[in-house]
Amino acid sequence: MRVPILLILPLICAAASYGQSGTVHNAATAGVRFTGPTVLAPDSRAVISYSRTESAPPHVSATVSLRPAGAATAIPAQVLIADGSTINFIVPSTAPIGPAQLIYQATGDTTKWIEVAVAPSAFQLFINPTTDAPIAQFAPATGSARPLALATPVQPGQAAVIWGSGAPMTTSIPAITLGGVPQQVLFAGNPVQMLGIEQINFRVAPNTPLGCYVPLTVSWGADTFTSFLSTSTDGTACQHPFRLSAKDLATLDSGGSVNVATVTFSSNFTAAAADHDSRQEQISANFIGWSGSFLASRFNATAAAGCTISTPAASLISLVVPGFPSNLIGDITLRQGSSQVVLSAANNFTQELPAISSGPWTLSTRASTLNFTITPPVMLSAATTPVPLSRATDQTISWNGSDLDPNSGAILNLTSPNQPTLTCNAPAAAGSVVIPKELLTRIAPGAATLRLLISQPIENSPNVLNGDSVVVVSQTSTDTRPVVLQ
């Protein structure tokens, strides 16, 4: 059952034309995310992004080949399209599994190569960079196929269509869940005239959860890809956590943004030594236009509980989100009992406070009122400062979890100069996390810094519509201590 794909062809080509200089990766994620070693699968679509010479013409032809490690000859690859900075091609179906050199040459440029690894599969879905959701459409029982997006979500019982590249070269079919509910796969294979691309049709199950950011999991062979799709009962705009209108959702789908004013209560405790500590508390407001992809990155962000360790590295992707005039909101008044704090342009929308009292608060603007509760700040249960940590056994780090918002999350970081960074995630209300000794032994003994951050996920943050803008209240709390690793 092959669904016409004319609607998504321009988006797939656009996704495949973005990239980073001197890299090659699965075309499904080119320009959207790049997470590490280049892994390509036979018969998949890939994109090379390279730095062109000044003399190179804007429209070029190119040759691409793959030479397996130890081989005397290279295997030619089919080039689909090339320009002065990118080459789209099909990984040869006969490419053997293992390390290889990807050799390419564009008109007017020298021959270059990139070290890659060929794997049995490297499945990725094509992503729409505007919304960070998979490029998708649905085919109603009658009428033409339409794009699947926030303002035009799929409904239970309909057939949805998604596309990817890098599927295993076997007769297996993918397994799909949406909102944790298994979905019926109707078709999985190569659409006509779309080399290196796999099309997956599935019927949305009747008991699939509804919402704008319903978690999507596609497992195919050894690969699992996670993202989200939008659903609603009748195909009208999905119910957004910010209660955005259908017009706002259509704006996000088309690459626009919505105005979000975030009021943040922050409390930051730092202990430099046993007899020297300080706490800084403030309330601030910022005014930013949130794009569809930025909203998705907040509402669709999930961090698995547990600890990991990684080598410090610079971020490969940065999000630039435009601001909006603060006068659309005006002054923000915060009250707790008889106490009052006014955030205005006169104090740059930031107010330092001697202390932030926990309990009920009220936020007021000229167009809206919001009631919410602030919980006490986080405090580590460490008996001494610096905190002693033994690398020989598992170490338990505890804090006042029973005082905190049960919806909040805890992120624990252990850092030391020129050493791997250890990160643990847990529910804030858990009150503790265990750091395995296997991870601690990978960090050299000596001085380090322990930082615990408590923050409220955006989907659980109090918010209110204020005309054409959304006002959100967030709370963060940190406790930072010196550590001696023994």
Going by their DSSP bridges, the two strands 387-389 and 469-485 should be labelled as parallel
Last residue of one domain, picked from the residues 78, 96, 124:
124
**Contact (CB, 8 A) for 34 and 23:** yes
* Per-residue confidence band for 317, with pLDDT thresholds at 50, 70 and 90: very low
Q: How far apart are CA 9 and CA 283, in angstroms?
A: 47
Same domain, 181 and 46: no
Same domain, 292 and 415: yes
CA-CA-CA-CA torsion sign (29, 34, 36, 37): positive
Same domain, 346 and 451: yes
Q: How far apart are CA 318 and CA 304, in angstroms?
A: 22
How many structural domains compose the chain? 3
Q: How far apart are CA 252 and CA 149, in angstroms?
A: 9
Q: How far apart are CA 349 and CA 32, in angstroms?
A: 34
| 7 vs 116, more confident | 116
| 140 vs 254, more confident | 254
Instruction: Give the pLDDT score at 228.
Output: 95
Same domain, 265 and 402: yes
Whether residue 345 has pLDDT greater than 80: no
The string of pLDDT tens digits covering residues 301-314 is: 667 789 998 865 44
**Mean pLDDT score, 17-45:** 57
**Contact (CB, 8 A) for 304 and 224:** no
Last residue of one domain, picked from the residues 231, 252, 285:
231
Is 2 part of any domain? no
Whether residue 74 has pLDDT greater than 60: yes
Is 37 part of any domain? yes
To the nearest 10°, report the CA torsion of 170, 173, 176, 181: -140
Whether residue 20 has pLDDT greater than 60: no
Q: Which two tokens stand for residue 190?
A: 């190569």
Q: Label residue 349 left, alpha or beta by phi (over 0 means left) and psi (-120 to 50 means alpha).
A: left
Q: Which two tokens stand for residue 409?
A: 């999350």
We report the CATH number of the domain holding residue 109 as 2.60.40.10
Whether residue 231 has pLDDT greater than 90: yes
Q: How far apart are CA 219 and CA 168, in angstroms?
A: 11
Whether residue 141 has pLDDT greater than 80: no
Q: Which two tokens stand for residue 397?
A: 């780090």
Is 254 part of any domain? no
Is 243 part of any domain? no
Is 346 part of any domain? yes
Same domain, 287 and 401: yes
**Mean pLDDT score, 79-106:** 89
Instruction: Give the pLDDT score at 58.
Output: 61
Same domain, 277 and 149: no
- Residue 145's domain comprises 125-231
Is 101 part of any domain? yes
Same domain, 168 and 110: no
Same domain, 460 and 323: yes
Q: How far apart are CA 252 and CA 296, in angstroms?
A: 10
Whether residue 32 has pLDDT greater than 50: no
pTM: 0.79
Beta bridge partners of 445: none
Same domain, 366 and 474: yes
We report the CATH number of the domain holding residue 160 as 2.60.40
Same domain, 83 and 156: no
Same domain, 149 and 111: no
The string of pLDDT tens digits covering residues 353-409 is: 888 899 999 999 888 999 999 999 999 998 888 999 999 999 999 999 999 999 999
**Mean pLDDT score, 130-140:** 85
Q: How far apart are CA 10 and CA 324, in angstroms?
A: 31
Last residue of one domain, picked from the residues 124, 146, 174:
124
Q: At what angle do helices 246-253 and 292-299 cross, to 10 degrees?
A: 100
Is 23 part of any domain? yes
Whether residue 196 has pLDDT greater than 70: yes
Whether residue 115 has pLDDT greater than 50: yes
Same domain, 20 and 96: yes
Instruction: Give the pLDDT score at 85.
Output: 78
Is 117 part of any domain? yes
